[in-house]
Chain A
Amino acid sequence: MSKELIRLSNCSMAFDGEYVLKDINLYFNDKEFLTLLGPSGCGKTTTLRIIGGFQKPTSGDVFFDGVRINDVLPHKRAVNTIFQKYALFPHLNVYENIAFGLKLQRQNGKKLSKAEISGRVSEMLDVVSLKGFEKRDVTSLSGGQQQRVAIARALVNRPKVLLLDEPLGALDMRLRKDMQSELKRIQQATGITFIYVTHDQEEALAMSDTVVVMEGGAIQQIGTPEDIYNEPKNAFVADFIGESNILDGIMHSDGVVELFGRKFQCLDGGFSPMEPVDVVIRPEDIDIVDAAEGTLKGTVASITFRGVLYDIIVDFHGFKWLIQTTDLSPIGTEIGIKIDPDGIHIMKKSEFSGMYGDYSSFSDKYDDIGDAESELELEEAEGGYET
């Protein structure tokens, strides 16, 4: 088990009396790739800025290696950051940008030698595949290349922790995929703890060891990508990570849940008898069968071709389900569905119950999810400077 490196203890953050973080408790292990995931304004960037030292929590403590660092300024922290839109220094070339931090470093009161600096910079240029770009003006580079310079500029200082604030937001789809594996490779090669902020759930699932789902300034769930996907804690998490049909159910006893007046078998338990619950059924866990054989019967309402799969919306007495399938049934056909017990996941009722998981307004919702544009978070605009 790797050891704990950073701990946020009861951290809250308010701007002008408005809380954007509410009593966060979170720890980060050494050499871990942890992602803070959530929609705009959920408090993920603020959490990152508190770790980086750009903002002091309104209340609560930050510990680094067991030492309280609330009052330690950013330049004294063993943490480096990759900012949204990279924040490269436009008046410096690639070499000078990467060497910026090294030139400020002092070892036993002495500056690093020119030879050491240039050695470490060229080593870093190798890591990010930018050999030969030393003299280039950073403003003449493409987005992807600027991203690599930003990574090199942060990593050359050999931080214990690298903070990444939506680093891939400005890149196009293809480049983003490439950079995802690149970042993962760099993280494994260097053994540096990565704390990654994103609103893109696919990115979070693909790269992270641990995912922290945030909403409304609070942590909703912490877990491995598999946990988060398979065992969402509430309707918000189930909806935000992947696609989900979320239904009202009643738990009869361990392993038996009632949906639409019918009893289904499931694997969850530990609820009180007849407790109302939220039931998550992932679109890919639903099998389509002949209308006669299905446990539920419905009518195909719409079909969208997604490449590998079809997304079909099926109307079950007014509740619209999303089903992902390779079998095509034309619009208007009546079909039956079957759900295996391990395809049904039961969640306790929460503040998010009833807000998500119905596909009646299918098209709007889908656009939202596919939209990976970087959005400036509200709290960032309000943040101002801490000096």
Chain B
Amino acid sequence: MSKKPGFFGRFYMGFILFFLYAPIFVLIVFSFNSTRSRTVWTGFSLQWYQRLFSDGTILDAFYTTLIIAALAAVISTVAGTIAAVGFYNMRSRWRIPLTQINNIPMMNADIVTGVSLSLLFVSLGSVLQFRLGFGTLLLAHITFCIPYVVLAIMPKLRQIDRNLVDAACDLGCTWMKAFWKVIIPEIRPGIINGLIIAFTLSIDDFVISYFTAGGNIMTLPMQIFAMTRRRISPEINALSTILFMSVLILLIIINVRDVKQEEKLKKRAAALNQ
């Protein structure tokens, strides 16, 4: 039995939520302010959003972010799926240490990942004649997304009855066909979740992008950072609001999907025991 929280419990909870979300709430409210003031509410307006979408450099950053996020999500999902299936087929002697290694980059400080990727790209670039730019930015995003994709897919693989693949082979599939006809449909929810997570992470990333993008292109988070250094303007509020809302929506989608999957699994188990 769970106990209902008392007054203190509720108060404490509210307090924490307030501290977490009040700054974001204020930021969003003032993105709709009609004047430049960041402290006094003077009336509702969409002018900062309008300005945002008429500013060429911001629009460029917006497109860059979307294209990088889309490409990084798709490529890292393909790579991550293959990696996850590879892990799944390994003997546990190899699988356990290798999945641990997969987890390390996620705990590593972004700045370390960023700097090391930057150093790698610069030194490779001097040999292979390329410079930091779109390509290196994309590679960096793919790199940090893959572990998360693997992590999203592994649980789905573990839920598969091992006999399913054997059954498919037994009925006439080669291993490759069984992979497409049985494994992929079974882990599809995990793949899609991985795709959304990778997309979200890519949109969200600042530190690693900052070190690997070079001087010629910018993503939205980099743009916001640059704007704070030039002049403080409510445009930043508007841009941050857009970023916050898109990440929030993606996270809600992921969570709703997870809940639905759980329910489906429970139903399946219940049917079998009838």
Contacts and interface: CB of A to CB of B under 8 A. Distances in A.
Interface of A: 52-54, 73-75, 79-81, 83-85, 87-91, 100-101, 104-105, 139-143, 146, 153-154, 157, 170, 384-385, 387
B274 interface: yes
Nearest to A146: B272
Contacts of A141: 271
Given A139-B268, A139-B271, 9 more contacts: A75-B171, A88-B167, A89-B167, A89-B185, A90-B268, A104-B172, A385-B89, A387-B89, A387-B175
B101 to A, nearest CB: 21
11 contacts: A74-B169, A75-B169, A75-B171, A79-B170, A80-B171, A83-B167, A87-B167, A104-B171, A105-B172, A385-B165, A387-B89
B163 interface: yes
Nearest to A91: B185
Given A142-B271, A143-B273, A170-B272, A90 B186 contact: yes
B78 interface: no
A43 B169 CA distance: 22
Given A143-B274, A385-B89, A81 B167 contact: yes
B51 interface: no
Given A143-B272, A170-B272, A385-B165, A89 B182 contact: yes
B183 to A, nearest CB: 11
Nearest to A153: B171
A73 B174 contact: yes
B161 A87 contact: yes
Interface in B166-222: 166-175, 177, 181-182, 185-186
A154 B163 CA distance: 14
Interface residues of B, number: 27
B4 interface: no
B267 interface: yes
B179 to A, nearest CB: 10
Contacts of A73: 169, 174
B170 A74 contact: yes
User: Which of B161, B169, B185 is packed against the most chain A CB atoms within 10 Å?
Assistant: B169
Nearest to A54: B166
Interface string B247-274: 0000000000000000000011001111
Q: Which 9 A-B pairs have the closest CB atoms?
A: A104-B172, A101-B171, A87-B163, A142-B274, A83-B163, A87-B167, A74-B169, A91-B185, A139-B268
Given A83-B166, A87-B163, A89-B164, A140 B271 contact: yes
B231 interface: no
B164 A87 contact: yes
B172 A157 contact: yes
B91 interface: yes
Nearest to B174: A75
Nearest to A85: B161
A54 B272 CA distance: 26
Nearest to B172: A104
A75 B173 contact: yes
Nearest to B264: A139
Contacts of B170: 52, 54, 74-75, 79-81, 154
Interface string B70-103: 0000000000000000000101000000000000
Contacts of B173: 75, 104
A69 to B, nearest CB: 14
A170 B273 CA distance: 8
B92 to A, nearest CB: 9
A157 B173 CA distance: 13
Nearest to B176: A387
A79 B167 CA distance: 11
Contact of A54 (B169, B172, B182): B169
B184 to A, nearest CB: 10
Contacts of A84: 163
B169 to A, nearest CB: 4
A286 B273 CA distance: 42
A81 B166 contact: yes
Contact of B186 (A81, A91, A105): A91
A75 to B, nearest CB: 5
Nearest to B272: A143
Contacts of B168: 89, 100
Interface string B84-128: 000001010000000000000000000000000000000000000
Contact of A104 (B161, B177, B268, B273): B177
Given A85-B163, A87-B166, A157 B273 contact: no
Nearest to A159: B170
Contacts of A154: 170-171
Contacts of A83: 163, 166-167
A352 to B, nearest CB: 32
A138 to B, nearest CB: 9
Contacts of B186: 90-91
Contacts of B91: 384
Nearest to A383: B162
B174 to A, nearest CB: 6
Nearest to A103: B172
A377 B207 CA distance: 50
Contacts of B174: 73, 75
Contacts of A387: 89, 175
Given A54-B166, A81-B166, A91-B185, A139 B171 contact: no
User: Which of B89, B91, B172, B274 is packed against the most chain A CB atoms within 10 Å?
Assistant: B172
B171 A100 contact: yes
B200 to A, nearest CB: 26
